[in-house]
Structure 1
């Protein structure tokens, strides 16, 4: 699909920054630490690991940030279907359902990539996935935006966060086995769960609060559209909103822990706050200060984020990097060789994405 519409440069750059860590950026820290001994690389490596249960690291932000950015795009469009006849609404609904189904199918493909393939037995397929959650969060956020007013949208977001908290608190157990999420997934989720756990981190119940991550993006996108060209006003709103979410999330954490696996409401606030602040930073760097070289590197990744995400499961980039740069890597100390291969993995993917970007080819569901 060749894009003809104007794209928000900071949005594409931030999406690319988000995906950079997925395509191999996280692998840079261990060899850099071994070569330099700098503690900053040790800290960076620690932030590239998911928390085991309660808590928060930068790597936990990557997934909800992508959902947030899908909401920003929705908010920038600011479409409403209220009052339109069914004949005019049906094509929009059809596209939304098609997008959702494609993401669900691609999520299954991704789950069973890595050289294994989708099982022949439907009962052995993992249906829940990162892409499916992105699809459902965007779909329900779109339905809310298309059919309700702004105040109602805020009220729905608050109701989801509070309602989800009450559901989980009602079980009185936020453990992997005893949580409400585990009960629902064991009862109603078809197929298998991630690593056959009692719950699935992308399971049924925890998809509900992810809708709020998308709605937070909608609110940010609407703010960008409303104050287009008023840089100070835009930055002020994003920073204030992000700070308020972070404060609310940290305070809530004391009675309702931040937990990515359960996607707790406090986790939604923390990730939404970080997402808003990152959007403010990228808006400042790219759209205000015009750091085009900085943005071009990440935008090439961000404009085809779904494609590159699937590529991490279906293509052995390490093999390709080793085939091209293995000789150079072998001539260096172990840490240096590891770094060369890691950079090669990123470079090969970026060159392909840059080729698509330069030709205006953006592949999306």
Structure 2
């Protein structure tokens, strides 16, 4: 607990502690086996990193921590196998821009061995890895840390995604995989996404939410269905369950419990970054120094209008599945954060 308190104090001193819960974590019963499984091989094994980066969760700060800790440049950690995917999704209606996306990424140069994937393409990596596959937990208690699969089994699962093999090892013996992600309150994530991409009007936000409501309720018209780019649409409402569980909340929970060393929570960012640093073997002083060097995610809060009552009701309905995944992630983080403190 000393390490956690010291690290939180250091992060608070450099401005990363605001808005985070100060709840003390209660130890569970299976931390020893978790630490023996995850912590002991740290110095002996070559490490590969996957940060599953959801949209509008303050993930750039987390990604920068991973990239700085591992010493991987942005050009390299962006090469997740299909690096222009995100750009092509954004410009899906313009064939010229989609081609320029590919040319731009092909022109980027990486002069390091590839050991990580930390950009938004990571969403497609985890989706393809778990889609259609049966995941089994080792404990009846889904938040038990014993459920984390061994590194070689998780590496083998990811290796089934052919366009992720550019950064994965071809053999798994003596290799370590650290898989992390960051989840945010889903209604706030939806609001942040809208005000990031659109003019700040209540009318526009209501229309945005109503189209997502129609999709979730199964009432979307055929015309609206055909006009949507589905990867872009899912970013705005249903990412957690779509990418972690093929639309299933229970499958998404199993994915988090069995495949992730650490599931961070945006609202408890300082604690999450402490745990992330400890996961990679940093001292509290090193975590604090990183917190001072890495700029915080850009905050678009000044662009957001306050919630209207009907907007919040719509967003709550739209994010019902995501809320269940997020609530489970909070329980899992409570266990994991203590283990890495």
TM-score by length of 1: 0.30
Higher strand fraction (1 or 2): 2
The structure having more radius of gyration, on CA atoms, is 1
Higher helix fraction (1 or 2): 1
TM-score by length of 2: 0.31
